[in-house]
A and B are shown apart, each in its own frame.
Chain A
């Protein structure tokens, strides 16, 4: 029955991707993108790619989110789109 869990994970990923793009506040979008990166890390681990999952967790959910946040600090967190 693990395919139920995998299917739930995949739908959650699609939902977070759309939410990250449609949010009006850039800070919210950056945090949701961090959650999206972590969900992708779980999918890679479920597919058996443990090295890729390790790197995606460290890079996407770690350093990548910090880079986006440090730029949004400088730019201003609201957007009209």
Chain B
């Protein structure tokens, strides 16, 4: 198997290198990747939406249809993990897994230094996640990064303390509806734009709700609302994936 793998790898590598000699020169501003539509995005994004971070402006305004489906995919992956791990086991597996899993035979002792360190680190991490969400218009950041940081702050607490203690505060009945609420917020804003007479996810149509706000500022606020939806979903799903993986679905043991 290894010889076959090395042969296939070298062959495909040679074909790719032969193709790479045909590429336009690296760093060329007139290469086809940088000419057709991205020039228009760079020159018009700030005047259309007053958001200096061009990546956030394109992600949540020009290409927000893709971002909506990415959020849905993340939510579906979280649900799929939950469903896979809770399926009933077959007869062979049930006989083997009747005793306690290995980690519970030696439970970890409580460590006061670790607990105090996690207790001190959790509020700044959580606050930083919220800062990244709201400052995503002006600095690198935005919805996806903020969601992962918020989920990671809960995982930090779950590692320092017991998983059961964190699930008592942030139970499954809370983070699953929160994930669904994020997707609902995103799609709901799009449908609201549709109901108010514009296109789907075209923030201009929201101007009837808030007269007196210029068209660029309403786009900026629309981008912020959409990023909040993304953050809710991604944060809940990251913590949910960890809670399901580390306890094999039954939320009993774990780190």
Contacts and interface: CB of A to CB of B under 8 A. Distances in A.
**In the complex, A touching B, CB below 8 Å?**
yes
A63 B246 contact: no
B17 to A, nearest CB: 15
B245 A51 contact: no
B241 A67 contact: yes
Contact of A62 (B55, B56, B152, B254): B152
B85 to A, nearest CB: 11
Contact of A73 (B142, B238, B246): B246
Interface in B238-254: 238, 241-242, 245-246, 248, 254
A80 interface: no
A23 B242 CA distance: 25
Contacts of A63: 148, 151-152, 155, 238, 242
Interface string A40-81: 000000000011011100110011001100110110100000
B255 interface: yes
Interface string B32-70: 000000000000000000000101100000000000000
A73 to B, nearest CB: 6
Interface residues of A, number: 16
Given A58-B152, A63-B151, A66-B155, A74 B144 contact: no
B242 A70 contact: yes
A54 B245 contact: no
Contact of A51 (B101, B140, B246): B140
A62 to B, nearest CB: 5
Contacts of B102: 76
Nearest to B243: A70
Secondary structure type dominating chain B contacts: helix
Interface in B133-147: 140-142, 144-145
Q: Contact residue range for chain B?
A: 20 to 34
B145 A67 contact: no
B249 to A, nearest CB: 11
A54 B141 contact: yes
Contacts of B145: 51, 54-55, 58
Contacts of A62: 148, 152
A55 B144 contact: yes
A58 B149 contact: yes
A66 B242 contact: yes
A74 B55 contact: no
Contacts of B241: 67
Interface in A7-60: 50-51, 53-55, 58-59
Nearest to B246: A70
Contacts of A59: 148
Given A51-B56, A73-B103, 15 more contacts: A51-B55, A53-B140, A54-B145, A58-B145, A58-B148, A58-B149, A58-B152, A62-B152, A63-B148, A63-B152, A63-B155, A63-B242, A67-B241, A67-B242, A71-B245
* The 4 A-B residue pairs with the shortest CB-CB distance in the complex, in nearest-first order: A70-B246, A50-B140, A58-B148, A51-B55
29 contacts: A50-B140, A51-B56, A51-B142, A51-B145, A54-B141, A54-B145, A55-B145, A55-B148, A58-B145, A58-B148, A58-B152, A59-B148, A62-B148, A62-B152, A63-B148, A63-B152, A63-B155, A63-B238, A63-B242, A66-B152, A66-B155, A66-B242, A70-B245, A70-B246, A70-B255, A74-B101, A74-B246, A74-B248, A76-B102
